[in-house]
Amino acid sequence: TYYWNCQIQQAIENAKKSLKIRESVGDIWKSGSTQTTLGHLYHQIGQWQLAERLLRQAIYVQSEIGDYYLLASSWSNLGLIMLDKGNIDEALDCMNESVEIVVKQNLPISLATPFFINRGIAYLRSGIHNRAQEDFLKGLNAAEEQSNNDLQALGLGYLSELSTDLGEESKAQVYLERANVLVEHSKSQEVLREIFRIEAFLQSAIGNYCLALNSISQAQDYAKKEGNQYEYAKLAIEKARILLANDNVDVIIEQNLHTEIENSLKLFKDLGAKPGISWAEGILFEIESHKTSHKEYSTELREYPTVVIDIQFKSPSQRSLHEETNEKAVRLHHILAKELKNIARKPN
């Protein structure tokens, strides 16, 4: 309850007290359950080493006592940590284990909803779109059986992200509209954050950069409320990508987003999040490239001789249009010259 109301720190404190009591009375069954919960919560706030240790302890206990549903949950949550670390093969091994437990133990398939969705995320990040789609649909169907609006919304949201990734924006929009209806009364900060992030991804893909920035900012607000530093840092990367796609490097500099990306990079290194490190370093390189290109362009403009042509303009707007057109021509000349230099540098 505390988690879904975004009071993660309070949830952790309660779970720690519960674990201490259960261990003191030798309640192994419920100790394993609490370790799974704590592992998930510590993952959310970026304490990955502690989360992994707790989940591995839970897996050992749950295997011994035959608590199969929670065993599957622990494997799935451990897979998410491996995924964030960039260990894709290990992540998929963990997630396959979670789904196989449900099948082998003849557990109700509706219980596997989060396991299918989590594995779908791993396939999506790996670029295995057909497998991702299969798992998202299985997760969505199972969530519908449970009448679980939040999990249905996540299934639809990830199907939207998948469709956007495949260039099927119209289909993505339909999925996202259905997801938005389902989360209208949601209390889950995690679900709302993901839906806004996915919406930003779609809006950026179709060129609606203002809407994309608004959605990513709302996603960041939810991540901040959760206390989820890792997701907040990832969203800072996404925000920078949207601004770069819209050629708004000046906004990145003005809003001090460059420093935020550097802080994200430090966090990713501390966590051992290899994908995050790659994302942050790539964005910082793009920002520096844009700044260098802008500086070279400004310098070249000053170096160009001024050609005075005796044109009589009927209005200031005509003069403005002429100057804008002239500047665009110079910019195109600069880009062409730069490309020709790059081609010349390439070996035959």
Q: Would you list the DSSP string of 295-348?
A: HHHHHHHHHSPPPP-----SSHHHHHHHHHHHHHHHHHHHHHHHHHHHHHHS--
pLDDT of the chain along its 348 residues, tens only? Answer: 334 444 677 778 887 777 776 666 666 656 777 889 899 888 988 889 999 999 999 999 999 899 999 999 999 999 999 999 999 999 999 999 999 999 999 999 888 999 999 999 999 999 999 999 999 999 999 999 989 999 999 999 999 999 999 999 999 999 999 999 999 989 888 999 999 999 999 999 999 999 999 999 999 999 988 888 899 999 999 999 998 888 777 777 767 788 889 999 999 999 999 999 999 999 999 888 876 665 554 454 444 444 433 444 343 444 344 444 544 544 554 455 455 445 444 554
Q: Which structure tokens are listed for 113?
A: 């909803």
* C-beta of residue 223 within 8 angstroms of C-beta of residue 182: no
Residue 149, token pair as written in the block? 């609006």
Q: What is the per-residue pLDDT for 28?
A: 61
In contact, 66 and 32? CB cutoff 8 Å: no
Residue listed under structure tokens 């509706």: 110
Of 84, 91, 74, the C-alpha closest to 34 is 74
* Closest CA relative to residue 158, chosen from 187, 191, 203, 185: 191
Q: Are 116 and 135 in contact (CB under 8 A)?
A: yes
pLDDT of residue 135: 97
Contact 197, 233 (CB under 8 A): no
What tokens does 79 get? 């897979």
Q: How far apart are CA 133 and CA 304, in angstroms?
A: 54
**Alpha-carbon span 122 to 330, nearest angstrom:** 46
Take residue 80 and report the two structure tokens written for it: 């998410």
CA distance 204 to 138: 28
Tell me the longest C-alpha to C-alpha distance in the chain. Answer: 94
Contact 77, 36 (CB under 8 A): yes
pLDDT of residue 267: 94
54, 40 contact by CB (below 8 A): no
Q: How many CA atoms lie within 13 A of 97 on its CB side?
A: 20
281 within 8 A of 258, measured Cβ to Cβ: no
CA distance 6 to 181: 21
CB-based contacts of 117, cutoff 8 Å, min separation 6: 135, 136, 139, 151, 154, 155, 158
pLDDT score at 317: 41
pLDDT at residue 53, rounded to an integer: 94
pLDDT digits (tens, 9 = 90+) for 36-95: 989 988 898 888 999 999 999 999 999 989 999 999 999 999 999 999 999 999 999 999
Alpha-carbon span 37 to 59, nearest angstrom:
12
C-alpha to C-alpha distance for 192 and 77, rounded to whole angstroms: 20
Model confidence, pTM = 0.79
Cα-based distances in Å from 293 to 236, 289, 340: 23, 6, 15
Residue written as token pair 């990367």:
237
